[in-house]
Structure 1
């Protein structure tokens, strides 16, 4: 899907700021040995390069996954991921935060594979108190299999912001004032998995996984998580050590970028699905 505008007119100072921010994130990643456990998939999940790189693989026998050693309650989470290349139809690379139990909270990135040459679908969702059904889906404006790209969540008392390479793509606002639970009381772990979902993932399940292309592999690096308690902040890198995420909302420039993404790359928004919600969209959609 072609964009109707570009960043060619961005002020140079803003471009430089983004470049500096990106370089900081690339230079100061966490260590996967210290931060994560490989949870399933046997040899298909690997930590390499002294803990600086992690890979998940999927073959006909099994997928694989990992989870964070720590739980997080509010913060900024960054991960750089290079997705499955080539014909990835039927595969899903899930990267999300989740608590446990029937009333769990969850913040989801899911990357739905596609036929070679077709764009990935980035599927997002937010669960509060066990209730989800808040899907928004996007195409990406780049090939996510050629290089690493940064996928981030800013999670504070005000909102949850989904970002791709520091570009906001979605905001879920705190709507407790109108009776919608907001995930702010349950600590969450970070999870990621690569698995076969060819019953639904690609074109509604019409395109199946081509196992002759296996193993399918996704690669991760430069994890960063920042959380704060009171005036003390902790971070797995020095990139975001000032706790700015605690009050972060979108400024005018970020709102323009959000609208650019949603105008040109959003392919599904539950808030506008009147067939699904004939009585009107869920209450948080009014914000």
Structure 2
């Protein structure tokens, strides 16, 4: 029986996505599916254009005429950058290369937060990259909450399908009234749909954007079993490729100023393209979660005697 060109092409795609392209100590790593490149739709900014030093200024080294920065952790301090503006909804991205070698206890974070303005009930959307006691075994943790604190977090953890210490990779957050999407190299790894079940914990207040490196010895690597070993310091994370396109919140007028037209004057990423995942993005999401996610708070019965309402049916 003859096989159509379309069926043959589909079979080849499936085969390519199931053949391991690398083998790390934890097992095979598979080739990701093709998806739309959201990062191509937004302007790249320099560090100098978009950020100020947040803390540990002596460990922040801006290079390449302000387009890149090296963030270092040593025994004296970690360090971080924060956005010059606060944003209400938008698309946020940083291209990062992580420290190599023995990195247990080291945390590299790219996140949105308003804890400075709301210390007791702040919003947060996080990428946290957790170092490991074995080479290349960085873990990606995502988290988000609104009107809460760290204790009300909703974490999920993933292994990466590449070595994040060898080159730059994009870590992106899309946040609007419809959903929050975490993307790695444009592959969605997590989607939080804005539903009635999660509405009270959905981030809803303007936030700043942060990039930091710090000592998470008490919890970061296997629950704090492996603290930072400073004989391997300094630990250096490189960052560039910054993208921040959202509604800039004007603290003087207490009103947002949006950077592009959209269906909603309060949301520059509210158009149809950003309201829901495409079929390609959905396949990417299923691939990432099926092959690389190893922890979800919705499956943690030891932590939750009663699961959060949005976990029903998961």
Please indicate the TM-score interval, normalised by the length of the shorter structure.
Answer: 0.7 to 0.9
Partner of residue 56 from structure 2, selected from 37, 41, 57: 41
Q: Alignment partner for residue 297 of structure 2, among 248, 267, 270?
A: 270
1:195 pairs with 210, 214, 219, which one?
214
1:90 and 1:205 in contact (8 A); partners too: yes
Question: How many residue pairs end up in the alignment?
Answer: 269
Match of 1:108 in 2: 126
* Aligned position for 1:76: 91
Aligned pair partner of 1:50 in 49, 55, 65: 65
Instruction: Trace 1:164-175 onto structure 2 (pairs within 5 A).
Output: 164-175=184-195
Aligned partner of 2:252 in structure 1 is none
Change (3 A) 1:164 1:59: same
| Cα pair 1:98 1:190 within 8 Å, conserved | yes
SS of residue paired to 1:206: coil
Which segments of structure 1 move beyond 6 Å, counting only runs of 4 or more? none
Structure 1 unpaired stretches of 5+: 235-240
User: RMSD of the TM alignment (CA)?
Assistant: 2.6
TM-score by length of 1: 0.85
Distance 1:133 1:178 in 2: 12
Whole-angstrom distance in 1 between the partners of 2:55 and 2:272? 32
Q: Match for residue 210 of structure 1?
A: 229
Aligned 8 A contact 1:92 1:201 in 2: yes
Conserved? CA contact 1:3–1:265, under 8 Å = no
For 1:284, the equivalent position in structure 2 comes to 310
How much does 1:253 deviate? 2.1
For 1:31, which of 25, 43, 46 is the aligned residue?
46
Cα distance in 2 for residues equivalent to 1:6 and 1:208: 32
Q: Which residue of 2 aligns with 1:144?
A: 164
Q: 2 CA distance for matches of 1:179 and 1:71?
A: 22
What is the CA-CA distance between 1:248 and the residue it aligns to? Answer: 2.9
